[in-house]
């Protein structure tokens, strides 16, 4: 098969309204076409918001907490905003749940239902909701893990008097995700050592006293800081005796995951190294500029590919990054015309090395007939799923 093909990628500007409609305590869902707020995506009535935190279903309501600056429409002065819903569509904005104060900003974390009152912070026989969050010390920049608790179903919160519950003196130690590990009858926490590209695993019987169990990493993408980890079990094809554990981290605003096993102490990556079969590269992004026939318009793609050496498991070191100065940039990137003289054509999205193997099984159907294609995508940030641009999302 021989055919000439050319592909164009289009970067489309996406605008996120961080402001809102001032006024009384009305539901956070837009109600008329003239409102400048989304219909089905929660926004506070005004000011800056970012990472969702502490998502939990409790007392017949879905609770959404999120990074919130009550004083302006830019990042900073982070507190936990709060909204509730009974259907995940219509949301009611509530007062700030966990406010920043003169000593700390309240960064990302998670919420658990301490139903058996292991923490002793409940009332009577009723256990509290416990929020575990990163306390960012204003004076020093040190990041510590602290807790707050609610005894009225999440409406009001009290910071624990003996905070922090974990302090290792680090400026890059954040985003705790806590879950109950039934085999040990204890709590487990995953939290990132962000600049070391590691996830630390801690254990506790009461949510107040924590002991480090192990660390995972570095692994995978290590060219940008790791953030917002999670660790959870998934059954293969619904079979309880074939359960895998999945560890996720966020790198430059994109998600990366590892599939393996967890014994309550250590997460072990079960993915074997992958060696791609030989193939012929038709066009790539290894040059310093968009030479070799690539044509760029607008400003979204810059003057040439971005390059990185901190990636494992990818083909080449160059990639297209459509975020340079702002999300408002637009443009196109068109390949040169090239001839295909093979049976199969593979698009190595995000640098992945998974080409078609003759007689094997491919996750994506290979191109097997002559046709002219145009690939179009919209975006609001880095173009590739494993973008390596190191940018802080909520700290600026």
User: By CB neighbour count within 10 A (0-12 exposed, 13-18 middle, 19+ buried), where does 117 fall?
Assistant: middle
Tell me the CA distances in angstroms from 262 to 203, 204, 367, one per residue in order: 13, 16, 39
Tally the residues of the chain: 396
The phi, psi pair for 146, rounded to 5°, reads: -130, 170
Residue 114 annotated among the catalytic residues of the structure: no
Bridging pattern class, strands 295-298 and 331-334: antiparallel
Q: Give the whole-angstrom CA distance, residue 76 versus residue 56.
A: 25
Bridge partners, residue 169, by sequence: none
What Cα–Cα distance (Å) separates residue 139 from each residue in 103, 142, 143, 242?
Answer: 7, 8, 11, 48
> Is residue 303 classed as helix, strand or coil in its secondary structure?
coil
Catalytic, out of 35, 51, 162, 341? 51
As a whole number of angstroms, the distance between CA 323 and CA 389 comes to: 9
CA distances from 312 to 42, 137, 285, 350 (A): 36, 34, 17, 12
User: Encoding tokens for residue 351?
Assistant: 């640098």
The answer to whether 274 and 259 have CB atoms below 8 angstroms apart is no
Parallel, antiparallel, or unpaired: how do β-strands 306-307 and 158-159 relate?
Answer: unpaired
CB 236 within 8 A of CB 258: no
Would you tell me how many other CB atoms lie within 10 Å of the CB of residue 87? 8
Q: Cα–Cα distance between 192 and 206 in angstroms, integer?
A: 21
Q: How far is CA 217 from CA 28, 170, 193, 198, 212, in A?
A: 40, 17, 10, 5, 15
For the annotated catalytic residues, the residue numbers are 51
């Amino acid at each position: 098969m021989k055919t000439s093909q050319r592909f164009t990628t289009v970067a489309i500007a996406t605008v996120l309204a961080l402001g809102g409609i001032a006024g009384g305590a009305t539901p956070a869902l837009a109600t008329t076409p003239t409102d400048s707020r989304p219909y089905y995506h929660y926004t506070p009535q005004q000011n800056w918001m970012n990472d969702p935190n502490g998502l939990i279903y409790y007392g017949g309501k879905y609770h959404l907490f999120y990074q919130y600056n009550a004083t302006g429409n830019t990042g900073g002065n982070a507190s936990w905003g709060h909204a509730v819903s009974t259907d995940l569509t219509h949301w009611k904005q509530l007062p700030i749940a966990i406010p920043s104060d003169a000593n700390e900003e309240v960064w990302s974390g998670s919420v658990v239902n301490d139903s058996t009152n292991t923490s002793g912070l409940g009332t009577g026989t009723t256990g509290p909701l416990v929020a575990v969050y990163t306390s960012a010390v204003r004076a020093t920049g040190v990041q510590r893990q602290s807790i707050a608790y609610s005894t009225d179903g999440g409406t009001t919160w009290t910071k624990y008097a003996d905070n922090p519950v974990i302090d290792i003196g680090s400026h890059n130690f954040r985003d705790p995700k806590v879950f109950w590990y039934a085999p040990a009858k204890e709590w487990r926490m995953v939290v990132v050592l962000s600049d070391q590209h590691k996830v630390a695993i801690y254990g506790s019987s009461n949510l107040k006293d924590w002991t480090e169990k192990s660390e995972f990493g570095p692994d995978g993408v290590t060219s940008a800081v790791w953030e917002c980890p999670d660790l959870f079990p998934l059954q293969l094809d619904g079979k309880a005796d074939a359960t895998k554990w999945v560890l996720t981290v966020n790198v430059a605003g994109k998600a990366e995951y590892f599939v393996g096993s967890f014994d309550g102490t250590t997460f072990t990556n079960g993915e074997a190294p992958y060696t791609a079969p030989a193939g012929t590269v038709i066009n790539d992004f290894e040059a310093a500029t968009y030479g070799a026939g690539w044509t760029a318009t607008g400003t979204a793609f810059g003057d040439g590919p971005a390059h990185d050496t901190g990636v494992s498991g990818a083909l080449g070191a160059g990639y297209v990054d459509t975020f340079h100065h702002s999300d408002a940039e637009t443009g196109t990137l068109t390949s040169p015309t090239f001839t295909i003289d093979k049976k199969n054509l593979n698009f190595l999205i995000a640098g992945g090395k998974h080409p078609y193997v003759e007689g094997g099984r491919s996750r994506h159907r290979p191109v097997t007939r002559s046709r002219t294609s145009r690939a179009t995508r919209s975006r609001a940030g880095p173009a590739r799923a494993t973008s390596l641009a190191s940018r802080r999302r909520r700290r600026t």
